[in-house]
Amino acid sequence: MDKKAVFTLSAPAAIGPYSQAVLLDHLLFVSGQLPIDMETGALISGDIAKEVRVIFRNIQAILEAADSSLDKILKVTVFVQDMSLFAALNEEYRKHFHEPFPAREVIQVAGLPKGAEVEISVIAFR
């Protein structure tokens, strides 16, 4: 079994010693993505719906670089600083998936890189 790093210029570069994603056989492990706008490089904040949209745009770019897609996501992990954003997060999240939905957890955390309000990682297949 060979693992292979996945990289695309269409999504934010890693901000530490990790890969955007790692492919092992037919499984793709996508590192946590922040709401970074690729056009401006700015961190989006203050609007959880927009933040989730930007994150999934970045995740989609990474998945496409590995010949996968949002439809092939098996598991989603969401880290959020404020659980009061849960309902709004769910409303936007639902727009990116259809049944059967991926497995998921949402975890409230004390802090995220760059002061982000939300970070999302996924496991997908290709």
Q: Average the pLDDT over 92-105 and give the result.
A: 97
Q: Average the pLDDT over 80-97 and give the result.
A: 97
What is the distance between the alpha carbons of residues 101 and 94, in angstroms, rounded to a whole number? 9
Q: Average the pLDDT over 26-38 and give the result.
A: 97
Condensed to tens digits (0 to 9), the pLDDT of residues 50-66 reads 999 999 999 999 999 99
Kindly compute the dihedral angle of the four CA atoms of residues 56, 61, 65, 71, in this order, to the nearest 10 degrees. Answer: 40
Note the residue count of the chain: 126
What is the distance between the alpha carbons of residues 1 and 17, in angstroms, rounded to a whole number? 22
CATH code where residue 25 lies: 3.30.1330.40
Number of domains observed in the structure of the chain: 1
Q: Average the pLDDT over 77-90 and give the result.
A: 97
What range defines the domain where residue 22 resides? Answer: 3-125
Condensed to tens digits (0 to 9), the pLDDT of residues 65-81 reads 999 999 999 999 999 99
Q: Got the DSSP string for 2-20? A: -EEEE--TTSPPPSSSS-S
